Amino acid sequence: GAALRLYRRVLRLHRALPPALRALGDRYAREEFRRHRGARPGPAINYAEVLQQQISEDKKNLREKTVYGVQLTEEKLNDFRDEQIGQLKELMDEATKPKIKITISKDSESKT
């Protein structure tokens, strides 16, 4: 019920993100909603609200590039559990992974 509606809302919000950020966000949201099916929705609701606000600001400021997300202070990071730090590390690794480009040249085509 409510969790599925929230998940759909998050995915709809992701549509307004740049393509690479959208793909990453969709994957992460899918994993998090699966992992925390019975958890309270507070953090996900906060995420959706902040994202909605940032998307609205982005639409108003056509000239400036919007930075999505929230800056985490050292104080906030110190309050995180080890599991949460691990998840942040995984997310950072995924977000900063080099993009692999595949080039197909005419020389590599097989001829029959």
On the question of pLDDT at 88 being above 70, the answer is yes
On the question of pLDDT at 109 being above 70, the answer is no
Query: How would residue 83 be classed by pLDDT, with cut points 50, 70 and 90?
Result: confident
On the question of pLDDT at 110 being above 90, the answer is no
pLDDT in tens, 36-80: 887 888 888 888 998 998 888 887 776 567 777 777 888 888 888
Per-residue confidence (pLDDT) for residue 97, from 0 to 100: 77
Per-residue confidence (pLDDT) for residue 112, from 0 to 100: 45
DSSP state letters, the chain: -HHHHHHHHHHHHHTTS-HHHHHHHHHHHHHHHHHTTTS-SHHHHHHHHHHHHHHHHHHH-SSSPPPPS-PPPHHHHHTS-HHHHHHHHHHHHHHTPPPP-----GGGS---
Residue 71 CA to residue 69 CA, distance in Å, equals 7
Mean pLDDT across 84-98: 81
Domain boundaries defined on the chain: 2-96
Residue 106 CA to residue 102 CA, distance in Å, equals 13
